[in-house]
C-alpha cells in the first residue's frame, strides 16, 4: 500500500464555502445530523473504521454535485455519496470523515418515456415509487430489493442491488441503460443513454453499477422498462427439511421448463422471527423450510396450468403441502412475511452478522451443511432465508450468550466466508462490500484482481477522494 497524502481538513470555512456553492439551506455541520447521517444499517461494532462525516450537503441538482466535487478536488476532501441509509455493508459510511452527499432532495422522476420504454430518475427517488409509476402505464420496472419501500434508486445502482426478481430479470445493474455522473474533478458526463445496445467505448455504465460511489457520483439514471405481466401467482410450499426444499429449486427450470420471477427460502427460524414480529401466522409454522415461488404470465389459464405443474412438482419432491396465493391480499401477506425477516431479526437481536454470500445454485445444499458446521464450531446459530433461486443465501449468524459472543461471531463469519470461497462462491451477492467486508475480499479476489481494482479506482479518482477506503484493502 502506497503512502498517501493527508486529506484536506474540514473547517468552519469549509462549511461556509460549501454554503456559498449550494446555498446555506443545503449544508449542515450540526453534530446530531452528522451522526445520524454517518451510518447505515450495519451495527457500528462491525465497522471499526467508521468515522463521522464533517459536513453534510444536500444537493438539489447535478450542478450542485459538480460544484461540491470540484471544491473537494481542489482541497482534497473525501466525499461519500449516500442514499436512504438502508445499506448493509457500510458502503455509505464515511471512512475518512469529509463531506457526505445526501440525495434526498434530488428525488424526482424526470420522465417516463413510453415510446422508448425508459424512465429517467434522480438518485433520491424511493425505488418503490418507480415500480408504481411504471405499473400505472402497465409497465414493469424489474428492480425489486426487499428494502424497496425505503431505499433510494441511487443506492440500488451504486450497490447493484439484487432483490426478489433477479433470476428472471437480473439485478439493478441489468436495468440501467444510462447514467449521468459527476467525476472526481467535478466534470459532468453521460455514460450510455436511452439505448438498448451500445458498444462505443468501454461499458462504464455497468462498471459504475456496484462500484459503491468509489468511481463517480451518479446524478441521473435511465432505467429500462418492460411490459408488465398481467397476472401473478405465488405458491407457498412447506418442506420437512431445508435440504429437500433446496434440492427442489433447480427442478422448476429443469423439469417444468419454467423461469419463475422469484424463488425465496425461509427456514424455520426465519418464519418464527417474522411471525413473532408481525404477530401473524403461516399455516405450517413448524416446517423446517418454506419456499415462496412467484410465477407470472399474461394468460390466466396458462398461469393456472403452470402453478398446477409447479405445485405437483413440489409435492413430488417432498413438499408437505402447497398453498396458492392468487389474489393480491393473499400474495401481499406472504411477501410481507418474507420482507419482514431482516427487520424482525434486528428487532429481537442486538448482535448479529447479516451475510449475503452466493454460491453456484447447485451448491446451495452443500452450503447449508457447511453452515451447520460453522454453528457447531463457534457456538453460533443461524437464520437462513433469501433468494435461493439465484444462489444468493441470506444468512444471519447469531452469537452465543456471554462476553466471548462478539469474538465467536467474528470467527464464525470468517469461517463461513472461507467455506463459501471453497465452494466457488462469492462474498456478497447484493449487499455490497463497503467497509464491512473490505478486508475479506482477498479471500475471493487474487492479487492481480486486487491490483486491477486499485488501478481502475485511481484511473477514475486519482486523488482518492471518492468514498475512500472501500471495497478492497488499499483503495
- Which DSSP helix (H) or strand (E) runs through 296? strand 289-297
Under rule CB under 8 A, residue 402 binds a second copy: no
CB of 429 to a second copy, least distance (A): 4
Site for a second copy in 357-376 (CB under 8 A): 358-362
Q: Is the CB of 12 or the CB of 199 nearer to a second copy?
A: 199
Q: Which is nearer to a second copy, 391 or 399 (CB)?
A: 391
What is the smallest separation between the CB atom of 370 and a second copy, expressed in angstroms? 16
Q: How far apart are CA 471 and CA 215, in angstroms?
A: 11
Select the span of 24-32, 231-239, 249-257, 402-410 touching a second copy (CB under 8 A). Answer: 249-257
Task: Identify which of 399, 9, 228 has the alpha carbon closest to the alpha carbon of residue 17.
Answer: 9
* Interface residue with a second copy, options 25, 74, 230, 281 (CB under 8 A): 230
Mode of pairing for the β-strands spanning 262-267 and 289-297? antiparallel
Q: What are the grid coordinates assigned to 148, written together?
A: 424497496
Instruction: Report whether 278 contacts 340 (CB < 8 A).
Output: yes
Q: How far is the CB of 265 from a second copy (least distance, A)?
A: 15
Question: Is the CB of residue 179 less than 8 Å from the CB of residue 158?
Answer: no
Phi and psi at residue 474, in whole multiples of 5°? 90, 0
Name which position in 223, 344, 453, 466 contacts a second copy (CB under 8 A): 453
CA separation for the pair 75, 311 (Å, rounded): 62
Which grid cell is 403? 462476553
Looking at 97-249, list the stretches that DSSP marks H as alpha helix, in order from N- to C-terminal side.
Answer: 127-136, 153-159, 166-169, 172-175, 204-208, 242-248
303's enclosing H/E stretch is helix 300-316
7 DSSP 8-state letter: P
8: alpha, beta or left? (left if phi > 0; alpha if psi -120 to 50)? beta
Shortest reach from residue 139's CB to a second copy, in Å: 8
CA-CA distance, 239 to 243, in Å (whole number)? 9
| Number of other CB atoms surrounding residue 9 within 10 Å | 13
Contacting a second copy (CB under 8 A), which of 180, 355, 390, 415?
A: 390
> Based on CB atoms, which residue is closest to a second copy, 299 or 312?
299
CB of 359 to a second copy, least distance (A): 8
- The reply to whether 2 sits near a second copy by the rule CB under 8 A is no
- Which of 20, 286, 305, 407 binds a second copy (CB under 8 A)? It is 305
Strands 353-355 and 262-267: unpaired
- Interatomic CA distance for residues 185 and 315, integer angstroms: 59
Site string for a second copy, 413-452 (x = CB under 8 A): -----------xxxxxxxxxx---x---x--xxx-xx--x
Are the CB atoms for 182 and 217 separated by under 8 Å?
Answer: yes
- Does 385 bind a second copy (CB under 8 A)? Our answer is no
For a second copy, the closer of residues 165 and 268 by Cβ is 165
Q: Does 227 bind a second copy (CB under 8 A)?
A: yes
Task: Tell whether residue 136 is a contact of a second copy (CB under 8 A).
Answer: no
What is the helix (H) or strand (E) element at residue 236, kind and residue range?
strand 231-239
Binding residue for a second copy (CB under 8 A) from 223, 289, 344, 472? 472
Q: Provide the mask over 173-212, with x wherever binding to a second copy is found by CB under 8 A and - wherever it is not.
A: xx--------x---x-x-x-xxxxxxxxxxxx-xx-xxx-
- Map the footprint of a second copy across residues 87-126, applying CB under 8 A: 113-118
> Considering the rule CB under 8 A, would residue 1 count as an interface residue with a second copy?
no
Identify whether the C-beta of residue 169 lies closer than 8 Å to the C-beta of residue 226: yes
Q: Tell me the site size for a second copy, rule CB under 8 A.
A: 87
Per-residue interface string for the shown chain with a second copy, residues 74-93, x marking contact by CB under 8 A: --------------------
Shortest distance (Å) from residue 434 CB to a second copy: 10
Amino acid at each position: 500500500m502506497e503512502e498517501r497524502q493527508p486529506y484536506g481538513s474540514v473547517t468552519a470555512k469549509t462549511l461556509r464555502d460549501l454554503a456559498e456553492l449550494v446555498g446555506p439551506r443545503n449544508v449542515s455541520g450540526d453534530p446530531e445530523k452528522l451522526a445520524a447521517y454517518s451510518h447505515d444499517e450495519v451495527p457500528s461494532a462491525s465497522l471499526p473504521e467508521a468515522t463521522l462525516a464533517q459536513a453534510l450537503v444536500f444537493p438539489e441538482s447535478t450542478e450542485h454535485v459538480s460544484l461540491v466535487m470540484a471544491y473537494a478536488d481542489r482541497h482534497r476532501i473525501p466525499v461519500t455519496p449516500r442514499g436512504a441509509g438502508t445499506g448493509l455493508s457500510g458502503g455509505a459510511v464515511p471512512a475518512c470523515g469529509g463531506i457526505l452527499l445526501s440525495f434526498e432532495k434530488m428525488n424526482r422522476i424526470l420522465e417516463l418515456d413510453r415510446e422508448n420504454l425508459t424512465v429517467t430518475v434522480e438518485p433520491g427517488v424511493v425505488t418503490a415509487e418507480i415500480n408504481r409509476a411504471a405499473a400505472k402505464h402497465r409497465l414493469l420496472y424489474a428492480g425489486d430489493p426487499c428494502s424497496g419501500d425505503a431505499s433510494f434508486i441511487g443506492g440500488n445502482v451504486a450497490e447493484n442491488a439484487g432483490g426478489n426478481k433477479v433470476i428472471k430479470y437480473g439485478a439493478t445493474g441489468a436495468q440501467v441503460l444510462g447514467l449521468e455522473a459527476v467525476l472526481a474533478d467535478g466534470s459532468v458526463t453521460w455514460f450510455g443513454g436511452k439505448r438498448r445496445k451500445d458498444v462505443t467505448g468501454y461499458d462504464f455504465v455497468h462498471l459504475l453499477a456496484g462500484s459503491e460511489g468509489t468511481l463517480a457520483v451518479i446524478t441521473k439514471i435511465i432505467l429500462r422498462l418492460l411490459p408488465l405481466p398481467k397476472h401473478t401467482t405465488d405458491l407457498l410450499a412447506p418442506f420437512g427439511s431445508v435440504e429437500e426444499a433446496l434440492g427442489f429449486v433447480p427442478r422448476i427450470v429443469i423439469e417444468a421448463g419454467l423461469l419463475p420471477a422469484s424463488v425465496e427460502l425461509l427456514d424455520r427460524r426465519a418464519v418464527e422471527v417474522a411471525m413473532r414480529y408481525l404477530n401473524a401466522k403461516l399455516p405450517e409454522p413448524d416446517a423446517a423450510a418454506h419456499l415462496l415461488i412467484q410465477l407470472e404470465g399474461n394468460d390466466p389459464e396458462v398461469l393456472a396450468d403452470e402453478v398446477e405443474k409447479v405445485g405437483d412438482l413440489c409435492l413430488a419432491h417432498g413438499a408437505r403441502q402447497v398453498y396458492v396465493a392468487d389474489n393480491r391480499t393473499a400474495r401481499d401477506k406472504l411477501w410481507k412475511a418474507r420482507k419482514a425477516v431482516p427487520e424482525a431479526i434486528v428487532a429481537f437481536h442486538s448482535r448479529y452478522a447479516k451475510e449475503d454470500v452466493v454460491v453456484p445454485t447447485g451448491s446451495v445444499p452443500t452450503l447449508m451443511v457447511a453452515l451447520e458446521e460453522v454453528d457447531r464450531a463457534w457456538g453460533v446459530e443461524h437464520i437462513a432465508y433469501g433468494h435461493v433461486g439465484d444462489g444468493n443465501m441470506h444468512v444471519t449468524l447469531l452469537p452465543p450468550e456471554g462476553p466471548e459472543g462478539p469474538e465467536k461471531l467474528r470467527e464464525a463469519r470468517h469461517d463461513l466466508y472461507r467455506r463459501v470461497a471453497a465452494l466457488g462462491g462469492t462474498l456478497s451477492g447484493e449487499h455490497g462490500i463497503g467497509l464491512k467486508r473490505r478486508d475479506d475480499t482477498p479471500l475471493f479476489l487474487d492479487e492481480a484482481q486486487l491490483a486491477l481494482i486499485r488501478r481502475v479506482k485511481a484511473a477514475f479518482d486519482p486523488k482518492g477522494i471518492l468514498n475512500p477506503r472501500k471495497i478492497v484493502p488499499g483503495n
